[in-house]
Chains A and B, each alone.
Chain A
Amino acid sequence: MPEMTYSAALNKCIREEMLEDDSVFVIGEDIAVWGDGGGVFGVTKGLVDEFGPARIRDTPISEEGFVSMAVGAALVGSRPIVEIMYSDFLTLVMDPLVNQAAKLRYMFGGQAQVPLVLRTNLGASGGKAAQHSQSFETWFMHVPGLKVVVPTTPADAAGLLKTAIRDNNPVIFLEHKMLYFTKGEVPDVIEPIPFGKASIRREGTDVTVVATQTMLMHALKAAEAFSEEGVSVEVIDPRTLVPLDMETIIESVRKTGRLVVAHEAVERAGWAAEVGFHVSSQAFDYLDAPIVRVCAANLPVPYTRDLEREVIPDLNDVKEGIRACLKGETYSRGGRADNEQ
């Protein structure tokens, strides 16, 4: 299997699907000719040369407009892939996503389908500050009618995107800025990876860590470090948040008796709470310690390095969270905003 970056794996998947199906097109800002040929993070690099500017379509800076147009295109037979340059700009497209894409099939009694993929990227990546660093995945979990995908490895990114493009319903596909240039093996021909199947990244017996993207990378390093102390950490990557594979998580907690959930979204009402709720209601008797979550502080993401580090969890925070769980202690890095209203 060839090794390639996350960005190149996404590119390969889009190319394969565009070759396979003429109704697939990509629409977004600066996706055709920016940089060295496509997209701020290179995901659509070179595709305009092969498919032309009608199917790799650069747009004006009109996020609400082109997302709503993608919904309309999807209703009558196209399969649009929309790129939003930074997930922070999702605030501008909430109506077409929440009131239109997520609703039309249901609201019209099954007459409509909206095969739409919205790709964007989450997360802080060093100095991008409060409006280019956020992680909004939980917002979309709260909207019935949207699937939510959070891939971490290049192979998962490609395989899950293939499933997303072939899905007849809207999918919010959330990449991560810090992962675009990480490398991994990707199959020669990308096979679709089903939604709702978590991946056990590392097997263990003492504590379960559920994490995505950068936090998953930290969790795997933390697990390695703990193994040197004789602590066996199981690391689970849910891969999709809607649908969410609680079965795999609960089975793991029944084995380990301890759960840590780590995400880069802010702690308050983040998806760790959802996972924690299900585990406490379905595996209560198996828990040997309070559930721990390691999340961003309940703050905007600040610019300067040390302040950004204060807000976004790092490897040490994930280790601290795991250690707290092993000791049966509570842990929170959400901060004062949570307690002092």
Chain B
Amino acid sequence: MSRVDNPHDDVAIHTTPVVIEPGHTFGSVTDKISTIVLRKRTPIGWWIGFALSFMVFGILQGTIVWLLLNGIGIWGNNQPVGWSFDIINFVWWIGIGHAGTLISAILLLLRQGWRTSINRFAEAMTLFAVACAGLFPLLHTGRPWLAYWMFPYPNTMGMWPQFRSPLMWDVFAVSTYATVSALFWYTGLIPDLATLRDRARSRLGRVIYGMAALGWRGSARHWARYEATYLLLAGLSTPLVLSVHTIVSFDFAVGIVPGWHATIFPPYFVAGAIYAGFAMVLTLVIPLRKLYGLEDFITQRHLRNSAKVMLATGLIVAYGYMMETWTAWYSANTYEEFMIRNRFFGPYAFYYWALMVCNVIVPQLLWIRRVRHSTLALFAIAMFVNVGMWLERFVIIPISLHRDFLPSSWGMYSPTIFDFSMFFGTIGLFFFLMFLFLRFLPVISIFEMRTLVPEAEIKEDKTA
């Protein structure tokens, strides 16, 4: 992982672009980030983005109302394709969330200093993506008001959940992941909330941020425990994030459907999740740094490193696709072979080849230094990967289900307008939450940025 940060990366001068532009002090870092939250006038661009995302979120709300009134028959899922957009979108969103944990936890443990200015943002992304993801399994139960039946509690029915089922593992994995991500995020926010409390000019701001900061005062005794806790949480989140997507892949791999029943699924899903997540980080961060003038903190270095992680995980994913095909041939199993032939040449072949273009071919451009250095090109490639990762789940879920063992039980699947309105609606919800976060909470971790400023260096000779 340290190779990601190759110091000989720059064409022109053979020095790595800095993680924070020179000339910043404790004060300037604090002011620059906290002003985004504390200024009185909300920029017009924020209002436009907020209004648009709220409108799209409205579509989700409308769809949910219609869904609750009519049941999940309004979706296109039906025998033999019982899982489709609901599970595709669930896996897509969960995967996006994983990059946030990777950036905040794994890169912290690997001492990758460049993570600091994007970790808060990426954690927020995780949290909101998990919120969007959670809606799908919840609503596809059909009667979400009975969703608490999935939790093990002594009840008058005398029943317990089936803990041997990967679907129950999923309930535990996703709810643990959501809880731990929220704890990690909030713990990281406490010192910054204290900064906002101390700098807010309005009384309301002082009271609200003050309550949220829990009376944090920056005591050295507190910091010692805080740092230990933060590291421990990072150490816990790292295996957690790997386990969550492994368990998500078990939802398929433990089943017997050809195209699902594969041992390569856990690593291939985890790599895919990180791949999708970094694509989403780039999708969000590139416009954000421009709009809020944060180029000093989110520098070219961050974009390039993200691009490299994307390239690496993309290659793992491509290896996964290759192995699926190879295994199908090597197994000499009729059903496995047919599954691949059906992907290549079947009725949904277009989506398979579109997936190959988006996830395998286009990202190879990242080998070229000039592409990695172009913000616009990175943004475009990230969009391809966002689409590609969605298509990957489409290929795995409905395409595997629509033709399994018995030709007599084959069928075609097509989504309805409500499948699309739910999917796009969650994108609205995601951005709606994102815009609220941008306005009310510091988008970059202020206290961690202070540690990067040159002033933070303790001069040894004076302390001795």
Are A and B physically bound partners? Answer: no
Interface residues of B (CB under 8 A from A): none
Interface residues of A (CB under 8 A from B): none
